[in-house]
Amino acid sequence: MKRITIVLFSMTVMITAHAQTTNQNLKTSSTPALKPKLVVGIVIDQMRYDYIYRYWSKFGNDGFKRLIAEGYFCRNTNYNYVPTYTGPGHTSIYTGTTPAVHGIVANDWYNKTTGKDMYCAQDDNVNGVGTTTPEGKRSPANMLTTTITDELRLSTNMKSKVIGVALKDRSAILPAGHTANAAYWYDGSIGSFITSTYYMKELPAWVNDFNKKELAKKYLSQPWNTLLPIEQYTESLPDDNKYETIFKGETKPTFPHNLPETQKLNGGLNIIRATPFGNSLTKDFAIETIKSENMGKNTATDFLAVSFSSPDYIGHSYGPNSVEQEDDYIRLDKDLAELLSFIDAQIGKNNTLVFLTADHAAPEVPNYLTDLKIPSGYVHEKKILDTLKKELNKVYGDTLVLAFKNQQLFLNHKAIAEKKLSQVQVEGFICEFMQTMPNVSEVISANTMNNTQFTEGSRYLMQKGYNANRSGDVLVNYLPAYIDDYSPTGTTHGSPYSYDTHVPLIFYGWNIKQGSTADQIYITDLAATLAMMLNIQFPNGCTGKPISNLVK
């Protein structure tokens, strides 16, 4: 009997201990993980991955170097669709999906219903706040899915504060999402940050106070000269070369650029966009946003989406091998250092989750490659379109083409129906004809897009960027290093090739351990990763996957 009592007692102790352990485990597993007080998403417009390494010796220790030394660097991050433009890029970062799903198929596209171009952030149902110009008629209404910033707001019953900031309206509006507290962008006609009635009826007092400082005028009151002695810019071509665009009022594309004298001929205060001072103005406004809105001081996680637009304007004008672009990134490095230092003081590194990436990269200037005997050049789109229309008129008695935009042909469906033609056959005829055009790599019809599943290569990327309601009837891809002939100087972007798709991606701050990976990562994985970190829903159209090394 005594032995039985001892056994029963031992069993009771074991069961009790097991129950306590189980309860403790349940209690531990059900305890929500601590979240950052603030998320800061930094997108650099037209940043090539290799710029980090090219300009490394010129960077200080507190900007790009700090992010990499203390953060997690995803070195093989690519866009998984085309076209690689600003609007689709920012949208894909924050929605975790591609234009096929989120619907922002380009910066602007041909609207099949109205027969007019549609701008990605255009909204004629709202008005500007802080401006009377059309620049204020903007909202995220054309975006078809939620963003990670929307999901953050929804997860906290709208307690999280979300604000987008950029010089470009689309770069502020689309990342901030449908439910944002605010998005602010720059109106160069008045030199001020503005918003629209989508968000509010009048600008907050702090925005008005910021605008009254007229910082754009102050930045433009000085010539743009190199920050370092110009002979130190050894990572670039000579300052005076034929591959760069010349500001109106200048005779050469060389330093110093006399901004006080030339700004009247180059868009007035809008010229700041094409200088590094546009980044500094954005940084100033971002810091003021955090400070004046008390971001990171709330009970719920806040989110600031900030985009630096000036590198894109500078790249379009001068190209990736210019002293101008090198100077731009050296100065941007200092702006990032100031922003990070402010975050340290205001919220704390361990309370702030930062990520930095780009909306697309950029190719070399084709004329420069041609001079080096590398296959490259320009596609004369108007000539191709005129030739195609003549051929269609000869065969069908009608040109049948309404528009050629974003390397996509939009056909006249009404005319095709009235002539009792087969849409599929017309698309097929155009595909065969376009394939014979100079420097064309691939041509795909809408019918093929809708009935074939591609799994790799350029056609896969074209399909990921294809939205049946907004994309064209025939999609065209050019050979590598060939771009449309919009300008013989500077560069552009939009292709499925690595020089346009490969971008940096760095995570830093809250719960981020130092490291790097060369694993293949798609830009759509970013939003999925943030969702897992924040323990919230994925954006409702998300097709990306969390980056495993960051969410273990």
Residues marked as catalytic: 86
HSE-up (13 A, CA, CB side) for residue 396 = 25
Nearest to 317 by CA among 360, 362, 263: 362
In order of 51, 227, 233, 366, the CA distances from 222 in angstroms are 27, 13, 21, 33
Phi-psi category of 462—alpha, beta or left, where left has phi over 0 and alpha has psi -120 to 50?
A: alpha
Q: Are 315 and 358 within 8 A, CB to CB?
A: no
3-class SS string, 335-347: HHHHHHHHHHHHC
Q: Are 449 and 344 within 8 A, CB to CB?
A: no
State how far the Cα of 339 lies from the Cα of 75, in Å rounded to an integer.
23
Quote the tokens at residue 66. 């700090």
For residue 147, the one-letter residue type is T
Tell me which DSSP letter residue 410 carries: E
Q: In what order do the strands lie in the sheet with 72-74?
A: 128-129, 192-196, 182-187, 162-166, 302-308, 38-44, 352-358, 505-509, 72-74, 515-517
How far, rounded to the nearest angstrom, does the alpha carbon of residue 375 sit from its chain's CA centroid?
Answer: 29
How far, rounded to the nearest angstrom, does the alpha carbon of residue 365 sit from its chain's CA centroid?
Answer: 21
For residue 171, the one-letter residue type is S
Instruction: Map tokens 């290799």 to a residue.
Output: 50
In order of 60, 186, 491, the CA distances from 267 in angstroms are 33, 13, 20
Phi-psi category of 378—alpha, beta or left, where left has phi over 0 and alpha has psi -120 to 50?
A: beta
* 408: number of Cβ within 10 Å: 24
Q: Are 168 and 44 within 8 A, CB to CB?
A: no
HSE-up (13 A, CA, CB side) for residue 287 = 18
In order of 96, 199, 300, 433, the CA distances from 178 in angstroms are 15, 10, 19, 42
List the alpha helices (DSSP H) in 96-237. 99-102, 148-155, 169-176, 205-212, 215-219
Instruction: Map tokens 């868009």 to a residue.
Output: 267
State how far the Cα of 483 lies from the Cα of 478, in Å rounded to an integer.
7
Nearest to 99 by CA among 495, 546, 541: 541
